[in-house]
Structure 1
Amino acid sequence: MMFIERVKCPTCGNSSKITLLSIPFSNPELLRWLNSYYRNRIPKGSLDGMDYILDQCAACGLIWQRQVGDDDLLNSLYEIWIEPKDSQIYNEGRRSVQQALAYVSEVVTVLSYLAINPKDANFLDFGMGWGHWCQVAKSFGCQVYGADLSESKMAQAHANGIPMIDPFFLDSETYFDLINTEQVFEHLANPHRILTGLVRKLKPNGLLKISVPNGTGMEKRVHRISWDVTPSSRPLLMPVQPLEHINCFHRKSLDIFAASVGLVPAKIPLKYEFRYAANMSSLKNAARGLLGITYKNRLYPTYRFYRRGGVDHPFGHPQRGDG
């Protein structure tokens, strides 16, 4: 197994950077953290010669891990070191009514914004994980496709009736009303190439959603990173988690990334989201739901819908980005 060195910003291509942190993966404290997190599944010596280096782009502000795994290392990471069965059990355990309702609200809001019937909707969930979002969208009658590199996840999706595709090898007539990427771009060694390919498969009025961990202010917190294996250390480290979260975004870096392929923020009116807020079983739940919508779509900096620049809204009203 080898690693790839990313010397330029992987989203905007700028070569001017500041190194925020650099320690070898053989560092005893880091190695102890990795062995704890991956349950001692990393073979001894697998990361020899590899360093955990955090660089920040001087142009867009993205923070990225300079050295990342090659295809062989990533396959080991996501199929062996992260044991698929454990991952599935963990994700199934996190499923809840609230999560399902959030997916329902998101799907219906998009359908309403695009003014299309579910039976006419063509959706792609790129990096779909275990396919929970796909199942919700499919239940509305949408044509939903999934894409993932994990063989175990693809097999699970197939068992649930979700067709799997490689969007970069589709015929030229296949385009999508919505491309959903939930917790994907923080993992990609070449995010710009992937986003460029996805945009080519977006319908003229279509939406592309990017949701990634919030790395706002991470450059100011790097010095506080602790390799303590207790759960309390996890939130600080999560946006730049070694090996996995190799791209750390804030709103500016995410919008610059999108703009580099011709995308602009799509401002979805709150009336759609409030209209279809799903959990109105009590005043408390209703208030919580409405506040959650407002926070996620207006205040959470790295949950964003984008559309092609210069393309009008399906109702005929040009949409302005919400900054």
Structure 2
Amino acid sequence: MILDAKYNYRLTQLSAIVKITNILQPIINQNIDEYVTLCRRFGNKEEHPKIDYLLGEERNLRLHAEDVYWKINERTLEVRIPLDAFTNIRSHYSRIRAAISDLIRIPVKFPTWSELAKETLTDGCRPLCQGVFYNNDKSQKNKSYIHIFFDEDIARLLVNPCYGYSRLLQATVDNCRSIYTARIYMQICRHADGKKWAIPYPDLRLLLNVDSPKKKGSTESKQRIRANSVPRYHEFRRRVLDVARDELLLMVQNNTTNYYFTYTEEFPSNRHSTPSHIIFNIYETHPSKKDLDAYENHLSQIMYIGTGIRP
């Protein structure tokens, strides 16, 4: 829901989303354990008992988690993040606060029941969160927090194991210099089990919000339009794919990522300079010997094609 949102994310916003997930991790871990137990007990063919993965039988938060509070009357989940989790430089706090405030502008597709239509409406969007507020800790000098409030139904999706999860590292997202590196990293984490991720080139541009969907005469906010658009593929390859690949490879050396990638292009014919598909080859930071040999062989082929010299 969040990763597929075609929104002009800032790096700070993606970092906040991963931090929120980490804060909710105790609840998520318990729910995953319970979900696995149900799968083993009932199997894939039988319907599992319905469980509210957010609230327990007494309609309270199922598991106490630090910096998380369930507001019963307002049916919202409050998550608190310290500002110094983003930066230790206080002069940057205002920039961080401005970026996090825009979380309420992020549109996510979410089905909503309509009493007037008497059906669930799916063709529309809702904001990711209900509100963002700030607070200075009175007991600790110079300590400030961001408080983010989520509607109950969206909060349930954040902790529901039925929709699957990706193993994202906070250190990877926080060390990305390019927003494209963070977006691609999150996607290859989703597809890591299959070792590959193939996507049509036009779809990849839309997913990364490289192309503006705004049409002539549209009143849509300019927030979604990227100033540094890359209209031609050779620019996209140099400024998006190569930058993301090289950033993650550098993080492998620094031990700050769990996945990295190489990519190949699939062209519709020899006459086309724009590929139809981009195929990501996904590797773990501690790959098997077979995966490592395949990567070295692929790298040798690239160098030979580019320079004519075997490494």
TM-score, with structure 2 as normaliser: 0.25
- Who wins on radius of gyration, i.e. which is larger? 2
TM-score, with structure 1 as normaliser: 0.25
